Structure formats: structure tokens, C-alpha cells
């Protein structure tokens, strides 16, 4: 049960509010008020500065170094209008109850980073991030709500004072993805939204005029629609923020899902339409969503990016793509992992139609096609190959190699509607029956409007493994040497025990042929360089089962015969 907030505790909090009000900040400058609707329109599209100030215990503790001003300049130059700056405060408290003092140097760092983004011409949304599960989790059994409320107030009182005089380009978000599972917990979260606004009001400056993005339970669209209740009695213009990582198995590479199916597409559209229907007059912000180039098939990923951003635009919803520093923008090289995904996002946010590669959308398919590739099998004769695009009202203008050499219509390719046939005479420049496997060239297709499209020409063969079996060792991952023969990335891994039971999630037997028995990327399998990896958790599961297990590594293209087996014994 949640511990109720008693009368004495409420009185204590009220006393804190009055005390804070006496120390309210006064700003010398002026403030140009902006409505929540105007703010949401202005920030689209946005980018998340992930795994940076939200890292624990400190900025730089995870995969990104401390952020520099040039990163915000790069993001602005790429075409974004705003940045969401997640910040975790949990490891920066220097005091305890009742004041919960935050390290002054940390508050100054947050202020400085906000200024970097503003100086780059970006709108800013900043929050309290991983604190949601470190000390502000109202879903924990026996949660001390009095302590959470006190700390929430004092945290935002200090943040509010530090950022009180920032321009109207800066907005605040109370807490990231607060865990909520019940109506009772949701009621408490609704109260925390009010406490957040109380703290801003008492902190002074321009904070009662500042846009805020309030949050619903877990920032989940369904729970938010069920249980969110807007605070009353406050002056702040407000929007409502939610996050979207669906379909889970596609976004996170679970259970071998590399296909974004027709049913998935309909579900995504319905989900975004439903929350808009439930908040018809409320400005909406989709604060996080993602489909990473690391673990999603390119054609399906680009369709996902176009679909989510375009639908959000249609529903007057601003978006912030999640980027943890690994997924999209390499801050050191200043390169995007998938430039076409970036172009697609920007065009969709502007309401411009993109032409998209077609791909398999049937979840029951036994193999997967994708017009993001032209695959040629070693040993086969080189023939004409046709790829297809959903033109979406556009026309093909040109095709060029990555070196900039233009292909000649009729001689190198023909186009009929969305079907583009690459001639064998052109493909023979890169493919042959006896040539070495690997990625040969990337083609760039330019259309009359919208993003360009990339098509990778790949000659492939079956990879080879450096070994085919080993004995499971508790707590140790297994690294299997692999000689790639095409795409340097596995597609999925089937995990079947010798007794016929799937190692994880035996219910996946009811999924399609390309998903049944497959494990989940990162948690159960991975790859790095020239190694395939079975994680320690997977090895321990084999030991716990006490049964030898065969791991079938599927590769791209996902066609029969393009798989290899590795066995773990016990």
C-alpha cells in the first residue's frame, strides 16, 4: 500500500512552500510569453541529448563525454528546432530532508548546458530524469509519499530558481517516465504534477509564465488516457508529454522481429490517434521514440520513422527522437548512422512526402525481402534486379553511386512507377559469380520531393564460424569468431534446447517462422566486430536448464540456408 500523506506532513510541506516563496527570484530582464500550442509548433522536430546529463552517477559516466556547445550547433545545422535535455539529480544532492540541497556546481552545469542550446538557436525542454526510479517511484511497495513529495518540491524549487530568468524558449518537464501501475498511484502522480507547479510558482522569476509539459502515468499513452488529470489553479501554459516505443519487439529487437508488419502499422496509427482523441484540445509532445540503426532493418526502420513523425505532425504533436549517442548521431565524427532516416524525419515533420523502399510486411512470411538492398548470391549469374518504392506522389529524378557517378536511364536502369530495374550490365560492375562477398556500393535515389533513398548493393555468401560448440561456463559470455560474407550483422538468433523447448519464451512457437524461438537482442545475444556473442544471462539459462542448446544465427538476407548453428553443452 502507498503510505498516505498525513495532516502534519501536509502542513510541513505547506510551510516549505511559504519559506521558498520568501526567497523567490526576481529577474531584471523581460519575458516574451508563448502559449503551449505555439511552443509545441515551434519545437518540432526535436532531438534528445540522451545518456549525457541523465547518466549516473555523473555526466560522462556512460557512453558520452560531457557535452560541448558544438553538439548543439551540429543539431541545429542538421535541421532540428529543439533539444530535450534529460538531467538526473539523484547523485547530486548534498543535503537531506527537509531541504534536499543540490550541488551548486551541478545546477550551474545544467544552466550552462541550457545556455549552450539556446545560443545555438534551439528551444529547450529539460527535466528530472532517472530520479523517477531512484527516489520518486510511487509504485514501490510502501513508498514514502511524504518524502517523495517533499523532495520533488525542493528539487524543482532549486531548479526553478537557477533557471528562473531563462527565456520563454525554455520549458520544464517534472519527471521522466514515472512508474505507475494503478489508479491509486496515478492519483499520486497527478499530485506530483501540482507540487512541481507549486515549486515553480514559489521559485519566482518567469516561471509562472513558462511552458511546462506535464506527464501521465509511465508517460504511456494508454495509462495517460486512463488516469491523467490536469492540475487546476495554475497560470502556466501546459502541454502533455508521452513516449512511444511500440511495437516493443520491433524497436528493441526482441524475439527475432525484423519485420514491421501491416498490423503493426495500423496499431501505430491507432495508438497516436487515440491519445489525440482523448486530449483533443491539449498540445501534445511525443518526448521519446526511436528505431535504432543498430538493430532494425533499414527499409522497415525508415517506414517506422516516416510513419510516427508524419502521423504526429498530422495530429499536431511535436516529436523528440531519442538518441543515446549510439543510435543516431555520432557526436565525435559528426556523422549520422542512417542519413536517410534523418532526412525522412525532417521531411515528415515538415509535411513533405517521402518515397520509401518496400519490404516484407507479412509477419507469417518464411523469408524477408527489402528494397533497401540488392542482394546477389556468390555463385549465381548476374541478372537484372528490381527494387520497389512507394512513391507517395513523387517521381524518381536520378540515381547515383556514393562516389557521385550518375546512372544512365535505360542503359543502367529503367523505372516504371515505383518499380526500378537495375540492369545486369550495370550490376556486373559490382557483382560476379566468383567475386568476394561484402557491401559493394551504396546508391542514392533522388526524388521530386522528400528524402533521398539509399540502396546497398551486397554480394553475399554464408558466413563461417571459428568454432561450432563449447561448454557453458557460469557467468561468462561466449564470443564466437565469425568471418562475415555480406552484411556484418546477424539478423536474429534461434535458441532451441535439445529437448525441443525454446530456451527463452517458449510461447514464441506461436509466432511466425522468422520469430519462433528467437532470443532478444542485447539482453540475450549481440555482436561486436568479428564476434557473435551469447550473453552471460543466456549461458546461465543453458546451465539452469541442464540441456545442451543449439543457437541458430540468422543473417541478412533472411532466406532459407543463410543460417549457422552453434551448440552450448553443459
Q: State the pLDDT at residue 12.
A: 43
For residue 19, is pLDDT > 70? no
Mean pLDDT of 322-351: 97
Q: State the pLDDT at residue 8.
A: 33
Mean pLDDT of 358-367: 97
Q: State the pLDDT at residue 20.
A: 41
Tens digits of residue pLDDT in 485-530: 999 999 999 999 999 999 999 999 999 999 999 999 999 999 999 9
Question: Any residues with CB less than 8 A from the CB of 333 and at least 6 apart, and which?
Answer: none
The answer to whether 449 and 394 are in contact (CB under 8 A) is: yes
Three-state secondary structure call for residue 498: coil
For residue 279, is pLDDT > 50? yes
Tens digits of residue pLDDT in 420-430: 999 999 999 99
Range with the lowest mean pLDDT among 16-20, 267-271, 301-305, 518-522? 16-20
∠248-257-509 over CA atoms, to 5°? 105
Strand order in the sheet with 549-555: 469-471, 563-569, 549-555, 490-497
Q: State the pLDDT at residue 23.
A: 83
Q: State the pLDDT at residue 349.
A: 98
For residue 341, is pLDDT > 80? yes
Q: State the pLDDT at residue 448.
A: 98
Tens digits of residue pLDDT in 27-42: 998 999 999 999 999 9
pLDDT above 90 covers what percent of the chain? 96
For residue 233, is pLDDT > 60? yes
Which candidate, 345, 453, 313, places its Cα nearest to that of 394? 453
Three-state secondary structure call for residue 56: coil
Mean pLDDT of 384-397: 98
Tens digits of residue pLDDT in 178-206: 999 999 999 999 999 999 999 999 999 99
In the block, which residue shows the cell 558520452? 64
CA atoms 51, 57, 59, 65: torsion sign: negative
CA distances from 175 to 13, 133, 134, 511 (A): 19, 10, 12, 36
Mean pLDDT of 10-20: 44
Q: State the pLDDT at residue 220.
A: 97
Question: Any residues with CB less than 8 A from the CB of 131 and at least 6 apart, and which?
Answer: 88, 89, 90, 155, 175, 176
Tens digits of residue pLDDT in 84-121: 999 999 999 999 999 999 999 999 999 999 999 999 99
Mean pLDDT of 224-245: 98
Alpha carbon distance 75, 45 (integer Å): 11
Alpha carbon distance 146, 152 (integer Å): 10
Tell me phi and psi for residue 29, to 5 degrees: -85, -165
CA distances from 281 to 34, 278, 317 (A): 17, 9, 12
Please, which pLDDT band fits residue 1 given cuts at 50, 70 and 90? very low
Question: DSSP state, 63?
Answer: S
CA 196 to the chain's CA centroid: 26
Mean pLDDT of the chain: 96
Largest CA distance in the chain: 84
Tens digits of residue pLDDT in 125-162: 999 999 999 999 999 999 999 999 999 999 999 999 99
Please spell the DSSP secondary structure of 70-134, one letter per residue: HHHHHHHHHT--EEEE----GGGB---TTT-PBPHHHHHHHHHHHHHHHHTT-EEEEE--THHHH
What pTM, to 2 d.p., does this model score? 0.95
CA 302 to the chain's CA centroid: 13
Mean pLDDT of 210-228: 98
Q: State the pLDDT at residue 106.
A: 98
Question: DSSP state, 508?
Answer: G
Please, which pLDDT band fits residue 18 given cuts at 50, 70 and 90? very low
Alpha carbon distance 53, 353 (integer Å): 35
Tens digits of residue pLDDT in 43-69: 999 999 999 999 999 999 999 999 999
Amino acid at each position: 500500500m502507498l503510505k498516505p500523506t498525513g495532516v502534519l506532513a501536509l502542513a510541513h510541506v505547506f510551510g516549505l512552500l511559504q519559506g521558498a516563496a520568501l526567497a523567490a527570484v526576481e529577474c531584471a530582464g523581460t519575458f516574451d510569453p508563448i502559449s503551449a500550442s505555439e511552443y509545441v509548433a515551434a519545437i518540432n522536430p526535436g532531438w534528445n541529448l540522451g545518456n549525457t546529463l541523465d547518466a549516473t552517477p555523473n555526466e560522462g559516466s556512460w557512453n558520452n563525454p560531457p557535452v560541448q556547445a558544438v553538439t548543439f550547433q551540429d543539431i541545429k545545422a542538421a535541421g532540428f528546432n529543439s533539444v530535450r535535455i534529460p538531467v538526473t539529480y539523484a547523485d547530486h544532492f548534498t543535503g537531506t530532508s527537509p531541504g534536499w540541497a543540490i550541488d551548486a556546481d551541478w545546477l550551474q552545469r545544467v544552466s550552462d548546458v541550457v545556455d549552450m542550446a539556446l545560443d545555438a538557436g534551439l528551444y529547450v525542454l529539460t527535466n528530472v530524469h532517472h530520479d523517477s526510479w531512484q527516489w520518486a517511484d510511487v509504485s514501490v511497495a510502501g513508498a514514502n509519499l511524504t518524502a517523495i513529495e517533499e523532495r520533488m518540491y525542493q528539487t524543482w524549487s532549486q531548479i526553478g530558481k537557477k533557471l528562473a530568468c531563462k527565456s520563454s524558449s525554455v520549458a520544464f518537464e517534472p519527471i521522466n517516465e514515472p512508474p505507475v501501475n494503478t489508479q491509486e498511484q496515478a492519483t499520486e502522480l497527478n499530485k506530483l504534477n501540482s507540487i512541481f507547479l507549486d515549486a515553480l510558482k514559489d521559485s519566482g522569476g518567469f516561471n509562472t509564465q513558462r511552458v511546462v509539459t506535464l506527464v501521465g502515468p509511465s508517460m504511456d499513452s494508454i495509462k495517460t488516457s486512463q488516469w491523467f488529470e490536469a492540475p487546476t489553479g495554475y497560470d502556466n501554459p501546459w502541454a502533455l508529454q508521452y513516449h512511444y516505443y511500440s511495437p516493443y519487439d520491433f524497436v528493441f529487437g526482441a524475439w527475432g522481429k525484423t519485420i514491421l508488419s501491416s498490423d503493426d502499422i495500423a496499431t501505430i496509427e491507432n495508438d497516436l490517434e487515440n491519445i489525440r482523441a482523448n486530449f483533443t484540445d491539449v498540445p501534445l509532445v511525443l518526448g521519446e521514440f526511436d528505431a535504432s540503426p543498430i538493430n532494425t532493418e533499414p527499409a522497415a526502420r525508415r517506414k517506422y520513422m516516416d510513419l510516427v513523425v508524419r502521423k504526429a505532425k498530422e495530429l499536431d504533436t511535436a516529436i523528440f527522437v531519442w538518441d543515446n549517442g549510439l543510435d543516431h548521431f555520432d557526436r565525435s565524427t559528426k556523422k549520422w548512422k542512417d542519413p536517410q532516416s534523418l532526412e525522412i524525419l525532417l521531411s515528415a515533420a515538415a509535411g513533405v512526402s517521402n518515397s520509401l523502399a518496400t519490404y516484407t510486411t507479412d509477419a507469417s512470411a518464411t523469408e524477408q525481402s527489402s528494397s533497401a538492398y540488392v542482394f546477389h548470391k556468390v555463385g549465381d549469374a548476374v541478372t537484372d534486379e528490381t527494387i520497389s518504392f512507394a512513391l507517395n506522389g513523387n517521381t524518381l529524378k536520378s540515381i547515383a553511386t556514393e562516389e557521385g557517378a550518375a546512372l544512365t536511364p535505360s542503359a543502367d536502369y529503367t523505372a516504371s512507377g515505383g518499380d526500378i530495374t537495375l540492369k545486369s550490365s550495370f550490376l556486373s560492375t559490382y557483382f560476379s559469380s566468383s567475386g568476394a562477398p561484402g557491401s559493394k556500393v551504396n546508391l542514392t535515389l533522388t526524388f521530386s520531393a522528400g528524402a533521398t533513398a539509399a540502396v546497398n548493393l551486397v554480394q553475399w555468401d554464408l558466413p563461417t564460424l571459428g568454432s561450432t560448440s563449447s561448454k557453458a561456463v557460469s557467468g561468462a559470455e561466449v564470443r564466437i569468431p565469425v568471418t562475415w560474407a555480406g552484411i556484418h550483422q546477424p539478423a536474429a538468433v534461434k535458441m532451441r534446447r535439445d529437448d525441443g523447448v525454446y530456451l527463452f519464451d517458449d510461447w514464441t512457437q506461436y509466432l511466425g517462422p522468422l520469430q519462433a524461438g528467437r532470443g532478444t537482442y542485447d539482453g540475450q545475444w549481440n555482436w561486436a566486430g568479428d564476434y557473435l556473442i551469447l550473453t552471460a544471462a543466456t549461458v546461465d539459462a543453458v546451465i539452469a536448464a541442464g540441456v545442451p542448446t543449439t543457437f541458430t544465427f540468422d543473417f541478412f538476407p533472411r532466406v532459407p540456408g543463410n543460417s549457422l548453428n552453434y551448440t552450448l553443452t553443459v
